[in-house]
Amino acid sequence: MSEPAPGRRGARPRSLRTRLVAAMVALLVPALLIVGVTAEITLNKVLYDRVDAQLRAAANRAPRSFDLSSPPGPGCVRPRDREFPPGQVIGTLAARICHGTVAAADVLVEDGQPRPDVGHLGATLLALPADGAPRSRDLGELGEYRLVARTMPDGAILVTGLPLADTRETLYLVAAVVAGVTVIALGAVAYIGVVIIGRALRPLSRVAATATRASRMRLDRGEVELPQRVAEDDADERTEVGQVGAALNLMLDHVGNALEVRHASETQVRQFVADASHELRTPLAAIRGYAELGGRAGRSLPPEVAHMLSRVESEARRMTGLVDDMLLLARLDAGRPLAHEAVDLSMLTVNAVGDAHAAGPRHDWRLEMPEDPVTVLGDPARLQQVLTNLLANARAHTPEGTRVTVGVAARGRQAVLRVADTGPGIPADLLPHIFERFARADGSRSRAAGGTGLGLAIVHAVLTAQGGSVAVESAPGRTRFTVLLPLADTGRETDA
């Protein structure tokens, strides 16, 4: 798989609406540019053609500004030089070049206006080819001119020019107007595109909202109903969005059917486990009773028979505990309510640690208790079972001499119970599944006597039913279970 481009790494994804509007504007920009540039080029040609036509007319009238009937005087200048014939526009330039020098040059101005200085134009006018073709030249203070040079019958060169100021101003004005209109058009198109595309995408947004609501539902356990469906108007298969909506509805129907089948299967399994566990309690009690009765006559029995009876009794006790655990989990899965009363968690913890110390005297048991008692809401018998299972888990999965610290505290509106040990820790591959049923650790945390793998599953199920939670953190030399339970309403709120 190729790495993302450095410039796009971490870039914020854009919505479909934004991409569509951006694509519309991106397509419109070159189109408007082409139209604007074409209009400007066309206008430029039209205006320059018009100026050239005016320039040719002015050049045809220009010889009348020079008296060609009288002989020229010194410098090829005649008596009527520097006079403009009627019909020439203001700003017209006329010059006569004779023997490689500018013999006369002038610019037509309005009456009363001073004539501009044209003495510096000699080099520009002398360099102009006398082929009768119009050319643009920058004449300094006079601005840009359109010039044409023609050879007269007497050998002199007559230069005629018209100013391009009005033409250039018109071109600049049109360019500015086209640019402004282009910007305004792009803004209007973007706004209208946002509105139109937004309305077009509303059905897709509703389909996405339906999918989002369905995705937030818990589908992993229990009876699940999927009331979320795309409306009929948004599931019309004649449209692209409708095809998506219809496909989503079909998928939700399939998921709903699968959930119903899964729930029915789970219900059957739970009912079977509950019934089997309930039915097994009676024969197991009978087996234990007969084993205990046979054990009382142990002196009159052979040692081998007495040993077998003791093993039968031991395994019957173990199997009875497993059946009781399975029956409890089945009842919790069925949603059987537990007691909901005020329980002194502090005293419950002290008693549980005392029992754990008696069962595992070679462990280092420590208590961290607050000065004031911590009271929670829950079932006292089940909370006692939670504590017993957590402490039994710490005792069974750690070597002798391990320090086990049990702490109780109040934080906000919750009680916090922590059971931490300094044992070898939980394997990383088991940690995500530690609260699943029949989850077993490897040899580093295996029970010496063999565990059922239901202890922590019961802890999780009981706490969930009581409105609490349990979490675990583990590393070599440090494992900590954290239990959260709702505090009873005692009129105070504390922080840990």
The confidence band for 443, taking pLDDT boundaries of 50, 70 and 90, is very low
Same structural domain, 271 and 371: no
In a domain? residue 3: no
Which secondary structure element, helix H or strand E, spans residue 200, and what is its range?
helix 165-215
In a domain? residue 11: no
**Domain edge (last residue) among 333, 353, 374:** 333
In a domain? residue 281: yes
Per-residue pLDDT tens digits for 25-76: 888 888 888 988 898 899 989 998 998 888 888 888 766 555 544 445 554 5
**CATH number, residue 462:** 3.30.565.10
Same structural domain, 296 and 361: no
Same structural domain, 160 and 257: no
Instruction: Dig out the tokens for 290 from the structure.
Output: 């007969």
In a domain? residue 13: no
In a domain? residue 491: no
Same structural domain, 427 and 476: yes
Number of domains in the chain: 3
Is-contact 458 389, C-beta < 8 A? yes
The confidence band for 85, taking pLDDT boundaries of 50, 70 and 90, is low
Give dist(CA 488, CA 231) in Å, integer: 45
Angle at 60 between CA 57 and CA 63, to 5 degrees: 140
| Torsion angle in degrees (nearest 10) through CA of 124, 129, 134, 135 | -40
Same structural domain, 386 and 363: yes
Same structural domain, 36 and 166: yes
Same structural domain, 38 and 127: yes
Per-chain mean pLDDT for the chain: 78
Same structural domain, 328 and 360: no
**Domain edge (last residue) among 305, 333, 361:** 333
Is residue 202 over pLDDT 60? yes
Same structural domain, 326 and 441: no
Give dist(CA 237, CA 234) in Å, integer: 9
Regarding beta strands 364-368 and 403-411, do their DSSP bridges make them parallel or antiparallel, or are they unpaired? parallel
Same structural domain, 274 and 357: no
CB count, 10 Å around CB of 207?
A: 23
Per-residue pLDDT tens digits for 223-250: 566 677 777 776 767 877 777 778 877 8
In a domain? residue 209: no
**Domain edge (last residue) among 141, 170, 199:** 170
Span of 143-147, 196-200, 379-383, 421-425 with lowest mean pLDDT = 196-200
Q: Determine the structural domain holding residue 385 and report its residue range.
A: 341-486
Same structural domain, 352 and 469: yes
pTM: 0.49
Span of 59-73, 215-229, 367-381 with lowest mean pLDDT = 59-73
